[in-house]
């Protein structure tokens, strides 16, 4: 039977809590669907800094490169916040994304009928929202040079960064976005700041030039400040959004809240070739870490994206997605999505209930 190697990067804070739950789900659906998964757990982020002194050890990157896919929990925490830049957990995550060349980050935000009441938006605004943020992940201001600290002519300390995009970087992310929109509802909104930034002017030019290759996709453009506003005014107007690294970071957190919680949003980071990286969009949540309070569903759904986009195991992916819905239907809620009339559970119990749902939905053979 088929066999896959999966690198697990639990990381920091709630990372290990949500990864242990998602690992069990992967194991279970693999056994049901008749394939094997072998896990290699590697240190990453603050955990790696404490263990070996760097946020992304070579062994960890190599494991991710040679495995079929990587599932990451989260990295970061107060303990390392004052570290020099090259010794920050976040730097390790950027090195991992760059090392794997995963330039396309898919972040779906779907308001599940079961969770409409968990959204902070009015029911009629939130219900039915189903959008996909396609975030450029290995370029822009996160990686642009020059960057650093210096002193200006008045002797003032300065910190500086560069927003830079080459044409090929825009072209390849835009193609992924057009393809994504084509498989969804055929609407693509490109979000930029082309009224001010040169990098955005080029972005808009290149995205516009591609439109003729995708006549079935309806392309529009929006400035990022307006997009931030429109997301809470009328999120249903969006189908697929394509945007740069930093705007995508911010807008996807905003979009997550429409769905009820950042603890619900998964992501897939893909390159042109080679293995993908799959991670919830949330961070290590130091405020609730170690208390068994984290919502593991974003990581469960990231595991489903890993199965679908990373391994091509679509049926196994659907089993996890269906089980998440079934668990919500049975009334289980972690604190972040809890409301009156539902059963408040911790991370572990939520994970166990999803496993039960996977089992109960399996036709007896
Ligand atoms: P965060 O996403 O960790 O937390 C923001 C808020 O959302 C917190 O109140 C937290 O308790 C809550 N939250 C997040 N995930 C949750 C979950 N699964 N269930 C329930 N509640 C959840 O963002 P932050 O506080 O800005 O950052 C904390 C640390 O995480 C920082 O070090 C940051 O750099 C890092 N970070 C890492 C990643 C990543 O690993 N991909 C992403 C974002 C932030
Ligand atoms: C995310 C995070 C990261 C980012 C940080 C931790 C580097 O916020 O995955 O959204 O900004 O990309
Ligand atoms: Mn983020």
Q: What is the pLDDT of residues 121-145, one digit of tens each?
A: 999 999 999 999 999 999 999 999 9
Does 309 participate in catalysis according to the annotation?
Answer: no
Mean pLDDT across 250-274:
96
Angle ∠(288,8,14) on CA atoms, nearest 5: 0
Q: Give tens-digit pLDDT for 291-343.
A: 999 999 999 999 999 999 999 999 999 999 999 999 999 999 999 999 999 99
Taking CB atoms within 8 Å and a gap of at least 24, the contacts of 260-263 are 260/111, 260/112, 260/115, 260/116, 260/118, 260/119, 260/336, 260/337, 261/115, 261/118, 261/295, 261/336, 261/337, 262/298, 262/336, 263/294, 263/295, 263/296, 263/297, 263/298, 263/334, 263/336, 263/337
State the pLDDT confidence band at 242, using cuts at 50, 70 and 90: very high
For the chain, give the mean pLDDT.
Answer: 97
Mean pLDDT across 1-14:
97
Q: Give tens-digit pLDDT for 21-48.
A: 999 999 999 999 999 999 999 999 999 9
State the pLDDT confidence band at 1, using cuts at 50, 70 and 90: confident
Mean pLDDT across 249-272:
96
**Collapsed DSSP state (helix, strand, coil) of residue 254:** helix
More confident residue, 13 or 363: 13
Does 171 participate in catalysis according to the annotation?
Answer: no
Give the atom of ligand 2 at the shortest distance from the alpha carbon of 75: 6
Task: Tell me if ipTM is over 0.90.
Answer: yes
> With pLDDT > 90 as the criterion, what percentage of the chain qualifies?
98
Give the C-alpha separation, 254 to 233, whole Å.
Answer: 12
90 lines ligand 2 (CB under 6 A): yes
pLDDT at 364 over 80: no
350 lines ligand 2 (CB under 6 A): no
Which of the following is catalytic: 4, 165, 192, 193?
A: 193
Does 142 participate in catalysis according to the annotation?
Answer: yes
Which of the following is catalytic: 171, 253, 292, 356?
A: 253
Mean pLDDT across 227-246:
98
Q: Give tens-digit pLDDT for 157-216.
A: 999 999 999 999 999 999 999 999 999 999 999 999 999 999 999 999 999 999 999 999
* Statement: the pTM of the whole predicted model exceeds 0.95: yes
207 lines ligand 1 (CB under 6 A): no
Q: Give tens-digit pLDDT for 79-127.
A: 999 999 999 999 999 999 999 999 999 999 999 999 999 999 999 999 9
pLDDT value at residue 363:
77
pLDDT value at residue 365:
58
188 lines ligand 1 (CB under 6 A): no
Q: Whose CA is nearest to atom 12 of ligand 1?
A: 285
State the pLDDT confidence band at 241, using cuts at 50, 70 and 90: very high
């Amino acid at each position: 039977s088929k066999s896959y190697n999966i690198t697990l990067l639990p990381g920091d804070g709630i990372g290990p809590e949500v990864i242990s739950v998602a690992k069990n789900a992967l194991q279970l659906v693999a056994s049901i669907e008749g394939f094997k998964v072998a896990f290699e757990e590697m240190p990453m982020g603050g955990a790696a800094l404490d263990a070996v002194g760097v946020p992304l050890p070579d062994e960890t990157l190599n494991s991710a490169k040679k495995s079929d896919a990587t599932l990451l929990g989260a990295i970061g925490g107060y303990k390392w916040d004052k570290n020099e830049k090259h010794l920050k957990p976040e730097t390790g995550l950027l090195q991992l994304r760059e090392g794997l060349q995963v330039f396309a980050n898919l972040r779906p935000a779907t308001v599940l009928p079961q969770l409409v009441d968990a959204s902070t938006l009015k029911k009629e605004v939130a219900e039915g929202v189903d959008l996909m943020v396609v975030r450029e992940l290995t370029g822009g201001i996160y990686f642009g040079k020059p960057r650093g600290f210096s002193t200006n002519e008045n002797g003032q300390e300065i910190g500086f960064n560069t927003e830079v995009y080459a044409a090929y970087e825009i072209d390849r992310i835009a193609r992924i976005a057009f393809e994504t929109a084509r498989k969804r509802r055929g609407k693509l909104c490109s979000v930029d700041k082309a009224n001010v930034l040169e990098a955005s002017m080029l972005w808009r030019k290149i995205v516009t030039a591609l439109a003729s290759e995708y006549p079935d996709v309806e392309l529009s453009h929006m400035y990022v400040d307006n997009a931030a506003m429109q997301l809470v005014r009328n999120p249903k107007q969006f189908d697929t959004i394509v945007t740069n690294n930093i705007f995508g970071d911010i807008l996807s957190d905003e979009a997550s809240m429409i769905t009820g919680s950042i603890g619900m949003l998964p992501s897939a980071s893909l390159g042109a070739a080679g293995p993908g990286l799959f991670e919830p969009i949330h961070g290590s949540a130091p405020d609730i870490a170690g208390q068994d309070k984290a919502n593991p569903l974003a990581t469960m759904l990231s595991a489903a994206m890993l199965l679908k986009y990373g391994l091509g195991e679509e049926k196994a992916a659907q089993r996890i997605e269906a089980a998440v819905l079934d668990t919500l239907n049975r009334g289980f809620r972690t604190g972040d999505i809890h409301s009156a009339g539902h059963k408040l559970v911790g991370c572990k119990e939520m994970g166990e209930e999803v496993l039960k749902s996977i089992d109960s939905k399996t036709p007896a053979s």
